Amino acid sequence: MLYAHEVILNELAQGLRSVDEGVEWFESLSEDDQRKILHALVLFCGQARACEEDVPESIARSGIRPTHTPAVMLTKWHFGMEVLPAYELIKSFRLLVALFSIADSRRRALHCVGGCGHVWHNLPDPPRDAA
């Protein structure tokens, strides 16, 4: 069973939920919860086998500048973005979602092709608000 935040993060990684929706959700959380989500994302990136070679694409996908602190940290393969000042948390979120997405896509293509039993790889499409 997945927790709600785990479902949302996996939906973001798999493109089932837009990054804009993810940022809106992330911004709605308390600062403490944002830091917990960033910590969870770091763990998810590790589980998905993110590697240093994924960093340039992660920075490009995230939309943040390579000179922003979270990008510089990741370029040096330093995590711990959850301890950055509050104004860096959204940038960190965007960057880690991009890294998770890249690593998870590769993992699904290499290890889960043809189907797998991972709950997080078998998510239903999220419900959409009626327009």
Task: Identify the pLDDT of residue 29.
Answer: 97
pLDDT value of position 121:
47
Q: Give residue 130's pLDDT.
A: 42
pLDDT of residue 80: 84
- The model carries a pTM of 0.84
Radius of gyration of the chain from its Cα atoms, rounded to whole angstroms: 14
- Lookup: tokens for 41: 């994302």
Question: How many C-beta atoms lie closer than 10 Å to residue 69's C-beta?
Answer: 15
Predicted pLDDT of residue 119: 47
One digit per residue, the tens of pLDDT, for the chain of length 131 reads 568 889 999 999 999 999 999 999 999 999 999 999 999 999 999 999 999 999 999 999 999 999 999 999 999 999 888 889 999 999 999 999 999 999 999 987 776 666 655 445 455 555 555 44
Total Cβ atoms within 10 A of residue 9 = 27
Task: Measure the CA–CA gap between 27 and 34, rounded to whole angstroms.
Answer: 8
